Structure 1
Amino acid sequence: MKLFTRKKIYRKVRKRRFWNRTTVISLLGKTLALISVTFLIVTAVWWGNLTNQFNLKAIQFYGNNYLNENDLLYWLSISESYDLTQLDLQKIQDRLKEHPYIKTARASHNYPSILRIEIMERKPLAYLNHKPFYLVDGEGVILPLSHGRIEFDVPYLSGFNSNPQLYPEGNKCLSNKVIEALDFLMIAKNDFPDLYEDMSEVLINPQDDFVVLLSKRPTKIILGSENLTERIIILEEFKSTLKNIRTLHDYKSIDLRHRRQIIVKEWV
């Protein structure tokens, strides 16, 4: 059995009291610091409201290449009379995401008087040659003509099902054939950008084949009705065999529908 002398017991008690006193002082210090910071924040907000320091003076947009600031301000309907501290950032973000040309949005306060908005726009991939005329992005989202005119240098999609119910504005296209064409265009844009930039139109012929028309000279490239990714690789391999002797534009048509052979017709 271990025996404790009165002196040892006294030291232990005194040490425990010292530790408790130190802990209390530390907690009091942290509490006072928190109260002080809170008081400063509340005072700053109160003083800012009293002097109109937090009145919205500017809205800064970032990431908008196509949509101009007037378009965005009209969409948001926010004036400079708003108090920055009273703006609901989540509602602003949700409102921006309702815009058909905006994929994502983030709003934040830049105190004392600036609202910062970062957006990511949808990138049109092709025009839908229908009535009404639409744009469509790589995810198949249907975009209206924002200013009522042709503004993008992208290919046209023609000859596809014209049922307007397949093209809900601001939502994903419901036409499987259009989605196939968009997948083909995305591969061309990402992997063969020169070919994509040379495309004038992608259409469906009466045999249900995908056909590409080039822009510099209306060369017709018949891809077939399936395996479009494989066909575009074959086309690029054929293009590489021409080297500097000829180009795709030297042919009136290039037929890729047949296995192990490419049928070409020259301009007369």
Structure 2
Amino acid sequence: MDSKKSYAEKRKKMRQIKMKISSVLFAVVFIFWGVYYLLQSDLMNLKEIVVQGNMVIQEEELIQVSKLAMNKNIFKFNLKEIQDNIKTHPYVKDTKVRRKLPRTISVEVKEREEYAIIPYMGSYIYIDDENVVLKASESYIANDHILITGVEFKSFKTGEKIDATNNKVLKSALDILAAARMTSIFDMISEINISDEKNIRLITLNGGDIWLGEGKDPAYLMVALDEILVNLYTKNIKNVIIDMRFDGNISVINRDTLEE
């Protein structure tokens, strides 16, 4: 009798366990089905695109190049593909795209900054500090950006780095400008000429001509030049050539005397 009772209790417990498992499975299936339905429904359709970090690029430009389409379910977008689309814009250095439930996609961009201008066959090529071409224009505003002259082109394409025959000296010029930017003289530079790879030249806005040789140790050169220019400014000395081609030997030459 006890054995029959024990057996019945076991069967009852088994039924209870099975019912609980079935209930849990049903709840899980119901939840998954509900989530799937929600994710596929119009409730998740894109209604708003939030763009952040853009200072130069128009918001409409970014949305257009991203190929985001309104009223499409936000989970049907491939975020990696959207990011790659946005990065095709020459002024975009990096981007992050995120979904924000229920109907928003956030686009955050880091822009490339116009750094210098390279004259080329009647046009002006704007580049950033990594030598990436941002745009080509038929004109430029005087004193807007530093000119880099003497670049010998192989080819260039918007959104890509310039391919020049004198790439090495072009890189040296960009390193010099980066070092100059850490001092007070960056805004005093009008032009950097690299036509002679053995003697990179800086031209200042007031007519100063600085000979930098191959431009080795740009940080030292710019700190030393900063001190020299401040000294010349306080003495109101202009129209000079500053020869910094030789280590430890800096000469300031009056241009008029040199021309005589």
Q: In the alignment, what sits opposite 2:56? A: 66
* 2:243 paired residue among 229, 250, 255: 255
- CA offsets, 1:82-106, max 9 Å, x none? 2212111111011122222212111
* 1:220 paired residue among 174, 184, 209: 209
Offset, 1:36:
4.8
Rounded Cα–Cα distance in structure 1 between residues aligned with 2:29 and 2:177: 56
1:84–1:243 Cα change, 3 Å:
same
| Higher strand proportion (structure 1 or 2) | 2
Rounded Cα–Cα distance in structure 1 between residues aligned with 2:101 and 2:85: 22
Query: Identical aligned pairs, as a percentage?
Result: 22
Aligned residue runs from structure 1 range 8-157, under 5 A: 32=24, 36=27, 39-40=30-31, 42-47=33-38, 49-50=40-41, 52-131=42-121, 132-145=123-136, 150=140, 153-157=144-148
1:243–1:226 Cα change, 3 Å:
closer
1:207–1:79 Cα change, 3 Å:
closer
1:266–1:110 Cα change, 3 Å:
same
113-122 vs 73-82, greater mean Cα deviation: 73-82
Q: In the alignment, what sits opposite 2:173? A: 181
1:266–1:77 Cα change, 3 Å:
same
Offset, 1:59:
0.9
Count how many residue pairs are aligned between Structure 1 and Structure 2: 232
1:136–1:244 Cα change, 3 Å:
closer
Aligned residue runs from structure 1 range 159-238, under 5 A: 159-161=150-152, 163-165=153-155, 167-174=156-163, 175-189=167-181, 191-192=182-183, 194-205=184-195, 208-215=198-205, 217-227=206-216, 229=218, 230-238=220-228
TM-score (norm 2): 0.75
- CA offsets, 1:128-183, max 9 Å, x none? 111353222222222224x876479321101221x232x34322334112111111
1:95–1:35 Cα change, 3 Å:
farther
Task: Note if contact 2:240-2:252 (Cα within 8 Å) is conserved in structure 1.
Answer: no
Task: Note if contact 1:251-1:264 (Cα within 8 Å) is conserved in structure 2.
Answer: no
Offset, 1:78:
2.4
Alignment gaps of 5+ in structure 2: 1-12
1:114–1:150 Cα change, 3 Å:
farther
TM-score (norm 1): 0.73
Rounded Cα–Cα distance in structure 2 between residues aligned with 1:154 and 1:63: 22
